[in-house]
Structure 1
């Protein structure tokens, strides 16, 4: 039996301030503590999962893990299994260490080629050398807006990739990747509801580098739930993951977020919301994906808005 979902105080505060509380209440009716029947085969088809986690020092991280279809599956409506054996867990991926210290996990199953996505937040209940099981806390579908369509043409075998770089200041290749990004995965956390994984997308340039350690991102109109912003209201810790589809890399950023309300927006970068959010970077990791991935870009979202670069 499904439990009626209720928003936490941070989400309610943001929904009220945005004037979208009534819409959030209607849209939130899809949130449940079990996985929709039709979502279970969708999950089993996926070759990637976006993961949100919190490390031993409290920093929040966003990750993407790849595998052959079926490596993630939900054999029941209440548990998701990641069949990733220990030898296929990249040492450079923070997620695997993080779950040893904090069992909260956010998951986003996003099929870029069809713009379908499904979101699950839960808690690790089994972690051994073969797989992990995650007990579902919240599960719900998300709207397809602002997703750039891509098709994965081929995926190679796992290998422990080298080429890991770390830092805090933005410059060089890191700045180039951020300015070219059209897809960003966002991790946030809440003391009561756990970790959450989300998606932001737009035309290249929608993520602005505004300082040596600061980013600025417009907030477009969405489903009115404000899960990420609601978490930021109570806990500013944030993780970003920016995939470099052409370069076979992932840029992972951890820091703190701040929502900016009622901002001047003469270029209409926010599409009328007047909201931006800033990320103060504490650290970043740039690493190779441990599989060879051949992506084909299909098209941009028809909802994308202009960027500061034009």
Structure 2
């Protein structure tokens, strides 16, 4: 498959960065290089995005394990030991062979991140992804968390709803990081968004929005949303392990001043207390973060 599809090309052309995107796009390959393989084996967290095969709704989920639970097992293959809980919205997708998945391994300790997108197949110990796209991103807007500890936690029963509660809205407003899953005809993607607390606005219990900060000019996420508005968001409490998963549709608004704002309409909310057995140290905010609007 090509590096870019029509959705990404449309956004690149609108913003006037096609040449820059072509240059950056040369970094996207299908192979997992030794440095990438070594990075994967150090990670206790992997975020996966996909569409539920029954409902078509797009979700992002957090998978965790002892470092080594994610590893390269071939020139183009990443294997994951374990999977999601049966109550996770992505449980069916991650047990369905051929599912298009997007993954991102993000290490707050080093402010490095790696994305691998491809097709899933079942294995005896979990699942594997045959890579179509493998690439790294710069550390821009990524908060540093110097250390983590693994703690004994029993995930709570997921709470479900059709809109954000007051407490969930406060959780979103306080976030400095979230993950976004998106899809297109040829696959899926999982990406990261970061900023100072307040960078995500809660405009109503069923609508969020955030400014799209200047990035690498590829516009993979915004390109996916231009072709298919379905999206999934994942917010993590880096201290308590609570996971807040949202699914809905997202559209990009292009301002006359060149500012871009993504507007997300909530269709379903899933909140799981103590979902992630990792307790991270407090953040050191990225110097690249713009101040959130007042």
TM range, smaller chain = over 0.9
- Equivalent of residue 137 in structure 2, options 133, 142, 158: 142
For 1:149-188, what per-residue CA distance to the aligned partner results, in whole angstroms no more than 9, with x for missing partners? 113431135x651242111222221111011010010000
- SS at 1:248 equivalent: coil
Corresponding residue for residue 80 of structure 2? 82
Corresponding residue for residue 177 of structure 1? 171
Corresponding residue for residue 189 of structure 1? 183
- SS at 1:205 equivalent: coil
Verify the 8 A CA contact 1:35 1:139 in the aligned structure 2. yes
Residue 15 of structure 1 and its aligned partner are, at CA, apart by: 0.4
Corresponding residue for residue 268 of structure 1? none
CA–CA separation in structure 1 for the residues paired with 2:275 and 2:266: 25
Residue 263 of structure 1 and its aligned partner are, at CA, apart by: 5.1
Corresponding residue for residue 232 of structure 2? 239
CA–CA separation in structure 1 for the residues paired with 2:259 and 2:108: 28
Query: Displaced runs of 4+ in structure 1, greater than 3 A?
Result: 289-292
Verify the 8 A CA contact 2:239 2:281 in the aligned structure 1. no
TM-score (ref. length: structure 1): 0.90
* Pair 243,54 (structure 1): closer, same or farther in 2 beyond 3 Å: same
For 1:46-74, what per-residue CA distance to the aligned partner results, in whole angstroms no more than 9, with x for missing partners? 00001001112100001111111000000
- Equivalent of residue 34 in structure 1, options 9, 31, 35: 31
Residue 288 of structure 1 and its aligned partner are, at CA, apart by: 2.1
Corresponding residue for residue 272 of structure 2? 287
Gaps in structure 1 of 5+ consecutive residues: 265-272
CA–CA separation in structure 2 for the residues paired with 1:204 and 1:170: 18
Corresponding residue for residue 159 of structure 2? 165
Residue 291 of structure 1 and its aligned partner are, at CA, apart by: 4.7
Residue 212 of structure 1 and its aligned partner are, at CA, apart by: 2.3
Q: CA-atom RMSD, angstroms?
A: 1.7
CA–CA separation in structure 1 for the residues paired with 2:106 and 2:6: 27
Residue 198 of structure 1 and its aligned partner are, at CA, apart by: 0.2
* Pair 263,291 (structure 1): closer, same or farther in 2 beyond 3 Å: same
Gaps in structure 2 of 5+ consecutive residues: none
